[in-house]
C-alpha cells in the first residue's frame, strides 16, 4: 500500500510534535511492509517546485512556494502550490493520502486529491481548521471560545496595515468555507483526543460524530529508567517540580513561576527549554530571580532521563490537542500537574491533579495538597497508563486506509464549487490583495514624490550655499597649510623641549636619589645617637648598682675573714692528724707483711697454726679500725 503523508514541515528542517510523529509513523509503516512517502512544506528560500531526497530510507518531497509570507493565514490558498500538488499526485498515484496539515502548502489539498480519485484521511493535530491564528489564542494570550465566523474573527486575525476591513472579512469567510469543505470531503477524520474532537465540532461547525478518536502512540524510545521511591512530606527535602519544552506565553510558564513564591522553600523547579522571544525570556529571568529554579536551555529528548523531579507540571493556556510531553513524563514515572485546558485533563486521568488555566493561585493550591500529604504521589504514579505501541497504532491506521481505499469516487459536483469558481475566487482574492498593496505603494510613492519635490527646491537653494562653502573650504585649506607649517615648527621646538625635559627629569631623579640617601643616613644617625644615649644611661645605672654590690661584698668579706682563719687552723689540724694516720698505716702494713711471712713459716712448720694466724689477722684489723676511730 502506497501512502502519501502530507505535512507542513519535516525533519531536519522542523522538529515539532506533528513532524516527529509523522517521521516515526512512516518508519514503522515501512517496517510493516507499506510504502510511505512524505510531501512536506518548507520555509527555506529557493526556486518554486518540488525537490526530492531520502531521509532514513523514506522518500521525502519538499514543495516550495516562492510567494511572500506564504505561511500567513490569508495566503493559505495557493494556485501555484495546488498545481505542483496535482502534478506530483498524478505521477505518484498513491493508494491513499494521509493529510496532517495545510500550512505552507494550500488549503484545498483534500479537494484536489478527491478530484483525482484518491481517498483522503485527515488527522487534525491542532485547531488550525477553526482559527486563522491556529491555536485560538489571541494577541493578548487569552483563549478564544467563539465559533469561526467573520463577525467573531475579523478584529482578531493578524493583518498588514494596507489590508482593509472588507478584504479582511472576505478572507476570513474564504478561510471558513475552505476548511469546512476540506473537512467535509475527507473520507476519514482522525483526532488524537476527545477534547480536540469536541473543540473542532464546536468551533469549526463540524457535524457531531464525524471525528474518529485514535490516540497517538508513545514516541519515547529510551530505556525504562530506575524509579526512585515517590516523594512524601517527611522525605526531608523539597518537592521537585519539572517543566520542559518550548518556553512561550501560551505554555503558561510564567504562571508556574508566579506560583512558587507562595510555597517558600518547600519546592524546587527544574525549568528546561529556550524562550525564542527575547522579551519573554527577560520576563522569565525576572520571575526566576530569588526563586529555587534551575534552568537548562539546550537539551533533547534523550537527555530527559537525567531530570531529577518528583512531579511534571504543564500549565498551558492554549488548547492542547494531545501533548507529547505527557508521554515523556509518564515514561519517566512522573505524576502530573496540568491546567484544565484541552486534552491535558483527559491525558492526565488519575495520574495527576488539574488546576484552573492561567491561574497561579489554583496551581499553588494543588501543590499544597501534595505538600500536606492530602494526595500521595505513590497513588498518582500507580495510575500512570502503559505506553501505546507505535506498531499497533500503525495497524489501526491500516484498517482505516483499507476502509477508505475503495472509495475512489471524485467529489460530486453538487458537493463542491465548480473549478472555475474556485479559480475565480482565488484570483479575486489575489487581485484584491494586489489592489490593496498597490494602493499602499501608491500612497507611499505620493509621499516620496512630495519629499523629492521638496528636496529639489531645497537643492536649488543649496547650490549658492555650496559655492560659498567651496570658497570657504579653499580659505580653510590655505589656512590649513599655514597651520601645518607652524605646527611642524612647534613640533620641532616641542621635541627639543621634550629632550631638555627628559634630561632635567634624569637630573631630578639623581638628586632625588641622593636626597633620599641623605635622609636615610640622618635617620640612621639619629637612631644610633638615641641608642647610644640609652646605652650610656643604662651604664650609669649599672655602675651605681655595681658600687653598691662591691660595698656589700666588702662588708661580707670583713665578717668572713675570722671565720676563714678558723677554718684554716682546723684544716691544718686535720692535715697533721692525716699525716699521723698515714704513718700508722704504713707501720701496720709493715707489721702485716712480717706477719704474713711468719704465717707462711708457721704453715710450713705446723698445719695447725692456721687458726692462730686468722685470729692474729683479725686482731690487727681491729687495731687498725680503732686507730682510725680515735
Supply the DSSP string of 437-484, one letter for each residue.
Answer: HHHHHHHHHHHHHHHHHHHHHHHHHHHHHHHHHHHHHHHHHHHHHHHH
All domains of the chain in start order, with CATH: 2-217+392-410 (3.40.50.2000), 239-386 (3.40.50.2000), 420-617 (no CATH)
385: DSSP letter: P
The H or E element spanning position 271 is strand 267-272
* Pairing of the two strands 96-99 and 188-191: unpaired
Residue 243: pLDDT over 90? yes
Confidence band (pLDDT; 50, 70, 90) for 15? confident
Strands (E), 28-75: 35-41, 49-55, 58-64
- What is the reported pLDDT for 603? 66
Helical segments of 59-193, H only = 79-92, 109-115, 150-153, 165-185
CA distance 592 to 503: 111
Residue 74: which residues within 8 A CB-CB, separation 6 or more? 132, 157, 159, 163, 171, 175, 433
Using only the alpha carbons of the chain, give its radius of gyration: 56
Q: Give the cell for residue 578.
A: 692525716
Confidence band (pLDDT; 50, 70, 90) for 490? confident
CA distance 185 to 301: 37
Determine the Cα angle at 565 with ends 560 and 566, to 5°: 100
Nearest to 179 by CA among 189, 166, 168, 169: 189
Query: What are phi and psi for residue 131, nearest 5 degrees?
Result: -160, 125
Residue 385: which residues within 8 A CB-CB, separation 6 or more? 330, 349, 351
Nearest to 141 by CA among 255, 41, 273: 255
What dihedral do alpha carbons 91, 94, 100, 102 form, nearest 10°? 30
Residue 367: which residues within 8 A CB-CB, separation 6 or more? 239, 241, 259, 263, 267, 337
Q: Is 151 helix (H, G, I), strand (E, B) or coil?
A: helix
* Pairing of the two strands 35-41 and 2-7: parallel
CA distance 189 to 167: 31
Residue 417: pLDDT over 90? no
Nearest to 107 by CA among 43, 175, 161, 165: 175
Confidence band (pLDDT; 50, 70, 90) for 48? very high
- What is the reported pLDDT for 431? 61
For 583-600, the pLDDT digits (tens) are 777 777 787 777 777 767
For 109-118, the pLDDT digits (tens) are 999 999 999 9
Mean pLDDT calculated for residue range 200-229? 89
Nearest to 113 by CA among 10, 221, 258, 4: 4
Length of the chain: 630
CB 237 within 8 A of CB 224: no
Average pLDDT score over the chain: 86
- What is the reported pLDDT for 420? 46
Residue 414: pLDDT over 50? no
Lowest mean pLDDT among 32-41, 468-477, 621-630: 621-630
Sign of the alpha-carbon torsion through 412, 416, 417, 422: negative
CB 314 within 8 A of CB 325: yes
Task: Name 312's bridge partners.
Answer: 242, 336
CB 156 within 8 A of CB 171: no
Residue 412: pLDDT over 90? no
Query: What are phi and psi for residue 498, nearest 5 degrees?
Result: -65, -40
45: DSSP letter: -
Amino acid at each position: 500500500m502506497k501512502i502519501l503523508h502530507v505535512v507542513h514541515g519535516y525533519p531536519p528542517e522542523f522538529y515539532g510534535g506533528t513532524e516527529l510523529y509523522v517521521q516515526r509513523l512512516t518508519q514503522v509503516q515501512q517496517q510493516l511492509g507499506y510504502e510511505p512517502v512524505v510531501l512536506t512544506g518548507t520555509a527555506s528560500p529557493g526556486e518554486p517546485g518540488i525537490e526530492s531526497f531520502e531521509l532514513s530510507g523514506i522518500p521525502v518531497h519538499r514543495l516550495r512556494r516562492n510567494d511572500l509570507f506564504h505561511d500567513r493565514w490569508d495566503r493559505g490558498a495557493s494556485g501555484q502550490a495546488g498545481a505542483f500538488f496535482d502534478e506530483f499526485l498524478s505521477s505518484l498515484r498513491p493508494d491513499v493520502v494521509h493529510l496532517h496539515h495545510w500550512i505552507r502548502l494550500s488549503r484545498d489539498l483534500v479537494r484536489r486529491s478527491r478530484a483525482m480519485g484518491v481517498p483522503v484521511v485527515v488527522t487534525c493535530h491542532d485547531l488550525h481548521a477553526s482559527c486563522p491564528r491556529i491555536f485560538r489564542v489571541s494577541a493578548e494570550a487569552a483563549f478564544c471560545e467563539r465559533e469561526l465566523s467573520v463577525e467573531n474573527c475579523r478584529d482578531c486575525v493578524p493583518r498588514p496595515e494596507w489590508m482593509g476591513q472588507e478584504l479582511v472579512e472576505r478572507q476570513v469567510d474564504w478561510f471558513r468555507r475552505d476548511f469546512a469543505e476540506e473537512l467535509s470531503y475527507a473520507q476519514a477524520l482522525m483526532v488524537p483526543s476527545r477534547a480536540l474532537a469536541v473543540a473542532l465540532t464546536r468551533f469549526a461547525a463540524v457535524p457531531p460524530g464525524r471525528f474518529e478518536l485514535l490516540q497517538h502512540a508513545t514516541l519515547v524510545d529510551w530505556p525504562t529508567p530506575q524509579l526512585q521511591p515517590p516523594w512524601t512530606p517527611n522525605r526531608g527535602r523539597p518537592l521537585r517540580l519539572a517543566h520542559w519544552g518550548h518556553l512561550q506565553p501560551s505554555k503558561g510558564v510564567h504562571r508556574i513561576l508566579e506560583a512558587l513564591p507562595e510555597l517558600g522553600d518547600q519546592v524546587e523547579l527544574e525549568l528546561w527549554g529556550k524562550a525564542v522571544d527575547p522579551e519573554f525570556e527577560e520576563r522569565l529571568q525576572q520571575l526566576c530571580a530569588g526563586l529555587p529554579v534551575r534552568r537548562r536551555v539546550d537539551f533533547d529528548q534523550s537527555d530527559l532521563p537525567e531530570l531529577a523531579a518528583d512531579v511534571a507540571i504543564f500549565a498551558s493556556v492554549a488548547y492542547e490537542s494531545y501533548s507529547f510531553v505527557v508521554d515523556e513524563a509518564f515514561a519517566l514515572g512522573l505524576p502530573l500537574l496540568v491546567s484544565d485546558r484541552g486534552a491535558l485533563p483527559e491525558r492526565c486521568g488519575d495520574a495527576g491533579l488539574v488546576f484552573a488555566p492561567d491561574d497561579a493561585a489554583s496551581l499553588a493550591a494543588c501543590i499544597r495538597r501534595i505538600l500536606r500529604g492530602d494526595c500521595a504521589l505513590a497513588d498518582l504514579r500507580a495510575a500512570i497508563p502503559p505506553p501505546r505501541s507505535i506498531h499497533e497504532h500503525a495497524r489501526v491506521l491500516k484498517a482505516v486506509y483499507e476502509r477508505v481505499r475503495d472509495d475512489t469516487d471524485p467529489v460530486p459536483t453538487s458537493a463542491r464549487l465548480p473549478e472555475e469558481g474556485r479559480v475565480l475566487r482565488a484570483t479575486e482574492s489575489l487581485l484584491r490583495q494586489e489592489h490593496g498593496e498597490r494602493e499602499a505603494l501608491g500612497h507611499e510613492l505620493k509621499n516620496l514624490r512630495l519629499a523629492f519635490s521638496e528636496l529639489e527646491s531645497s537643492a536649488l537653494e543649496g547650490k549658492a550655499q555650496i559655492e560659498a562653502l567651496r570658497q570657504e573650504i579653499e580659505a580653510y585649506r590655505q589656512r590649513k597649510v599655514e597651520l601645518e607649517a607652524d605646527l611642524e615648527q612647534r613640533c620641532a621646538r616641542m621635541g627639543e623641549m621634550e629632550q631638555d625635559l627628559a634630561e632635567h627629569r634624569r637630573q631630578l631623579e639623581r638628586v632625588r636619589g641622593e636626597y633620599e640617601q641623605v635622609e636615610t643616613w640622618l635617620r640612621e644617625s639619629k637612631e644610633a645617637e638615641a641608642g647610644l644615649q640609652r646605652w650610656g644611661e643604662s651604664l650609669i645605672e649599672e655602675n651605681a648598682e655595681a658600687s653598691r654590690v662591691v660595698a656589700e661584698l666588702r662588708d661580707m668579706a670583713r665578717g668572713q675573714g675570722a671565720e676563714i682563719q678558723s677554718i684554716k687552723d682546723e684544716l691544718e689540724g686535720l692535715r697533721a692528724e692525716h699525716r699521723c694516720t698515714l704513718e700508722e698505716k704504713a707501720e701496720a702494713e709493715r707489721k702485716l707483711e712480717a706477719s704474713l711471712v711468719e704465717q707462711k713459716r708457721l704453715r710450713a712448720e705446723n698445719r695447725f697454726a692456721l687458726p692462730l694466724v686468722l685470729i692474729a689477722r683479725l686482731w690487727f684489723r681491729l687495731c687498725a679500725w680503732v686507730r682510725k676511730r680515735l
